[in-house]
Structure formats: structure tokens, C-alpha cells
Amino acid sequence: MRGVRREMWTRFASWILLSLEFALAADIVRTAIAPTWEDISKLAAIAVIRTALNYFLERDLEEISPKEEAAREHA
């Protein structure tokens, strides 16, 4: 049961990472069309937050992958 839950979480996390990348790209495109200083500052804050989320989520995924491989080898 735990392996299934972990695999589901890994897949979900991968989709979250991808959606964060697309959302950031959309914000950049929207700001590039008609930038104001307020829009640029909001974009900078959003980019920092999303980059931090991506970093920690990817780090969690990298930690899980070796554990799953080790569990599969022992099974």
C-alpha cells in the first residue's frame, strides 16, 4: 500500500512541477506584453516563490527515487 501511495505522490509531484513551469512562463509572457513596475515586482515575487517550490519538490523527488530503487532490488 505504501509503495502505491508513494508512486502516486511521485507522479502527482511531477505534474505539479510541470504546471509550475507553465504558470511561470505564462506570467512572464503576460508581463512582457504590457509591463509596469508593479507587474514586474509581482512577477519577481512569484518567480522566487515558484522557484523555491520547484527546488524543494525536485529535491524530495530525488530523495524518493533511490529509496524506491533500493526497495525494488530487495524485493
Gap between the Cα atoms of 6 and 67, Å rounded = 11
DSSP-based three-state secondary structure for 31: helix
Gap between the Cα atoms of 24 and 6, Å rounded = 27
Residue-wise pLDDT tens digits, 55-71: 998 888 888 766 666 66
Residue-wise pLDDT tens digits, 17-47: 889 889 888 888 888 887 889 988 988 998 8
pTM (2 decimals)? 0.65
Gap between the Cα atoms of 28 and 40, Å rounded = 9
Gap between the Cα atoms of 1 and 8, Å rounded = 11
Domains of the chain: which residue ranges?
A: 2-74
Q: Which amino acid is at 38?
A: E
